[in-house]
Amino acid sequence: MKKKGILNPEISKIVANMGHGDMLYITDRGFPIPRHDMTKVVDVSVGVGLPKVVDVVKVILEELEIEKVIIAEETEKISPHIYKEFMDIVKGINNKGNPIEIEIIPHMTFKHMLLNGALEGKEVKGMVRTGEFTPFANIILVSGVPF
């Protein structure tokens, strides 16, 4: 039995299959689920606020190399505590001495990137829906390379 890292087998498989530039959405409970089968959706919600989006992001980042995050501009305005937690997490990542790129986009663009399946040729590999009940508590992790 696996005892550390990502314990959820579906999330572990998504992370293992990610390549350079692929995207993984980590979302709050209210984020829409795509109606296409191009993106694997894993719903890990077990109750109101459980698990929290920030906790899920932290565990995934133990295994996933990223070079960029994408956050909706509404997050900073409407849920500043979540935005701050995202920024604190990103600042703590060592990307071979390079800072992690932070892209801020409108929420509608953020949503349509998932619902349409891709952006600029980068594939959305998965979506992890948490039990987070905080508005705009969503982040996209963009995979990097560990070398």
**DSSP H or E run through 118:** strand 118-119
Cβ-based neighbours of 64, under 8 Å, separated by 6 or more: 15, 18, 24, 141, 143
- DSSP characters over 55-95: HHHHHHHTT--EEEEEEEHHHHHH-HHHHHHHHHHHHT--B
Catalytic, out of 20, 36, 81, 112: 20
Residue 20 known to be catalytic: yes
Separation of alpha carbons 31 and 129, rounded Å: 8
The one-letter amino acid code at 37 reads: D
Half-sphere exposure of 58 (CA within 13 A, CB side): 11
Active site residues: 20
